[in-house]
Amino acid sequence: MYTNSACAKINEAIAAFIADNNHLIEKKTYGNGHINDTFLLRCNTPENQEKKYILQRMNHDIFKNPPQLMENVVHVTTYLRKIILSQGGNPERETLHVCKTLDGANWYQDSAHNYWRMFSFIERSMCLEKVESEKDFYDSAVAFGNFQKLLADFPVQMLHETIPNFHNTASRFQDFQKAVQTANSARAALAQKEIVFALDRKKETSVLTDLLAEGKLPLRVTHNDTKLNNILFDADTRKALCIIDLDTVMPGLSLYDFGDSIRFGASTGAEDETDLSKVELDLSLFEAFTKGYLEGCAGSLTQKEIELLPMGAKLMTYECGIRFLADFLTGDHYFKVHREHHNLDRARTQFKLVADMEAKWNEIQAIVNKYRN
């Protein structure tokens, strides 16, 4: 679904990126993202060859500074292209390529103040919306680990923080406390058990940020939204090919990327499952991802980072839970809901997953130790 504003200005945006002699054959909506408006363009080049592009209207309600966001994307993809080339890879398929406007810019602002960007379309690629096998999850882990390894020497100070405190669990906890204080009383009564669960774990919320401040964890380039569907797979070989959706690439901790993947992919239940007996941490999937992630990182992580991978998984799951719960308590203003108490159901699944991680803590630590060397 896309906005009326995007509909009205798409032709203006296309004209900013594509010269008249590249004839537009077709434009249509593409994908199922909930943040940006995405279109697939099919063009006929002067050489009479078909060329495809992805055109996106960036959501400047969520990303307050699209020019800074695009600086991050361009810095990272330019760096990745050089590294991939030096290793004998194919940067046209293994990283995103930002297309410039006809004026040489990396983005375009239309007359209604919408921000647009365009990428080359990567042919013969596909996305997976859910984990279908341990191999899929393992391959995604190798891809995200390799992304971390390729950017290990990138000067992280060059990047902007596109969403401040995005994965700062201590800051998110403060937001949650404010939500509890201002909550609708009826909703607070319904969520009393979940509120207590969240408050009981306050001490752990600053574990990672404290270690970062003490210099015991390195600040790295992180993706910050490491869901399976943010990887392109080769449609012919089904091998992980390219990391996409770089909007939240910014300075962060490797543990955020590992943890969010586990939260999303290693749960046995849906994110909004109402039957909590179906929700637990799948240890086989946890092991598959841990093995793949450490293989992909190929020695680029410190021993402290590896030791704290279980805490990364727990805190990213907990953080997501308190965000869902805070939104429920204050009237469902951030996350889209499709039924009554939807955000409360989401919070409950995350907290059930946290509780199961705690119950299996010795097992998940043993899995990490198995692959740490």
Q: Is the pLDDT of residue 5 over 70?
A: no
Annotated domain spans of the chain = 4-63+97-122, 134-371
Per residue in 121-133, pLDDT (tens digit) is: 999 999 988 888 8
* Architecture (CATH level 2) of domain 134-371: Alpha-Beta Complex (3.90)
- State the pLDDT at residue 7: 60
pLDDT, average across residues 17-25: 85
* Cα distance between residue 369 and residue 73, in whole Å: 34
Q: Is the pLDDT of residue 3 over 60?
A: no
Confirm if 319 and 356 have CB atoms less than 8 A apart. Answer: no
Low-confidence winner among 1-15, 79-93, 285-299 (lowest mean pLDDT): 1-15
- State the pLDDT at residue 2: 42
Q: CATH assignment of 4-63+97-122?
A: 3.30.200
Q: Is the pLDDT of residue 19 over 90?
A: no
* Cα distance between residue 31 and residue 42, in whole Å: 15
Per residue in 230-265, pLDDT (tens digit) is: 999 999 998 999 999 999 999 999 999 999 999 999
- State the pLDDT at residue 290: 98
Q: What is the per-residue DSSP string for 234-281?
A: ETTT--EEEE---TT-EEE-HHHHHHHHHHHHSBSS-TT-S-GGG--B
Task: Return all residues near 306 (Cβ < 8 A) that are at least 6 apart.
Answer: 294, 368, 372
User: Distance from CA of residue 337 to its chain's centroid?
Assistant: 20
- State the pLDDT at residue 32: 74
* Cα distance between residue 267 and residue 278, in whole Å: 9
pLDDT, average across residues 178-187: 96
pLDDT, average across residues 274-278: 98
pLDDT, average across residues 8-25: 88
Per residue in 196-220, pLDDT (tens digit) is: 999 999 999 999 999 999 999 999 9
- State the pLDDT at residue 132: 84
The phi and psi torsions of 117 (rounded to 5 degrees) equal -145, 165
* Cα distance between residue 265 and residue 140, in whole Å: 10
Neighbours of 158 (CB within 10 A): 13
Place of tokens 């999937």: 285
Per-residue pLDDT band at 1 (split at 50, 70, 90): very low
- Average of per-residue pLDDT values in the chain: 94
Confirm if 260 and 316 have CB atoms less than 8 A apart. Answer: yes
pLDDT top residue among 187 and 23: 187
Task: Return all residues near 132 (Cβ < 8 A) that are at least 6 apart.
Answer: none
Per-residue pLDDT band at 147 (split at 50, 70, 90): very high
Per-residue pLDDT band at 294 (split at 50, 70, 90): very high
Per-residue pLDDT band at 4 (split at 50, 70, 90): low
